[in-house]
């Protein structure tokens, strides 16, 4: 059996991040038990200057990318279908909001110390894209923490403090210094890079080639 380390640079606000991860997940299932992966999620903020209240997602996408309402709707349809293809449900609504994810990344850093980083990351993706849950409200974050079996009171303490802020900033700086400016980016064995919401087949071929070379 070959073991690989996969660091995934991503933001919960990025729909292609969950699409790409689901492709990787499918590839790893096909490759098991010959290839086993240790997954580590690394922080990235798509909107570091976003105010706490966030911005309507349609308005944000149209302004950021200079596209029309029709183009935005078409992009959502594409994403919704890609989600279905990989087993993830996107429920886009007109009142969804794009927020800054810094506190989410702090919670994920804390969850990693508890062995629950991956579970919390998946819960965040489901909450944002499937349940349309506002993730800029601490009560929602705390509920999600409790849902996956982590200490609710400790999560509240982390949110009310500056804990893990420096760690998140350091990890973000590390990724930027490696030339990573878009997400998702999958770093395999600290050497190989795959970007975007790739298919399971793309990941499968890459992982087979990487482990053969190793």
Residue-wise pLDDT for 155-200, tens only, equals: 999 999 999 999 999 999 999 999 999 999 999 999 999 999 999 9
CA angle (142, 125, 70) in 5-degree steps: 130
The mean of the pLDDT values for the chain is 96
Confidence class of residue 73 from pLDDT cuts 50, 70 and 90?
A: very high
Q: Which two tokens stand for residue 200?
A: 């399971």
Q: What is the pTM of this model?
A: 0.96
Q: How far apart are CA 25 and CA 113, in angstroms?
A: 23
């Amino acid at each position: 059996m070959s073991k690989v380390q996969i660091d995934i640079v991503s933001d919960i606000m990025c729909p292609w991040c969950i699409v790409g991860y689901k492709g990787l997940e499918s590839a790893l299932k096909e490759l098991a038990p010959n290839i086993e992966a240790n997954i580590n999620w690394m922080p990235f903020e798509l909107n570091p200057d976003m105010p706490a209240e966030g911005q309507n997602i349609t308005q944000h996408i149209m302004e950021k990318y200079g596209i029309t309402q029709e183009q935005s709707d078409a992009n959502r349809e594409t994403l919704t279908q890609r989600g279905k293809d990989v087993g993830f449900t996107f429920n886009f609504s007109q009142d969804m909001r794009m927020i800054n994810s810094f506190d989410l990344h702090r919670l994920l850093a804390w969850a990693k110390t508890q062995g629950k980083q991956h579970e919390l990351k998946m819960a965040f993706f489901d909450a944002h894209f499937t349940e349309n849950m506002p993730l800029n409200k601490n009560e929602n974050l705390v509920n999600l923490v409790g849902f996956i079996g982590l200490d609710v009171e400790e999560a509240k303490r982390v949110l009310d403090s500056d804990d893990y802020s420096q760690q998140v900033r350091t990890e973000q700086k590390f990724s930027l210094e490696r030339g990573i400016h878009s997400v998702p980016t999958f770093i395999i064995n600290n050497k190989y890079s795959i970007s975007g919401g790739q298919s399971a087949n793309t990941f499968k071929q890459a992982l087979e080639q990487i482990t053969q070379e190793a």
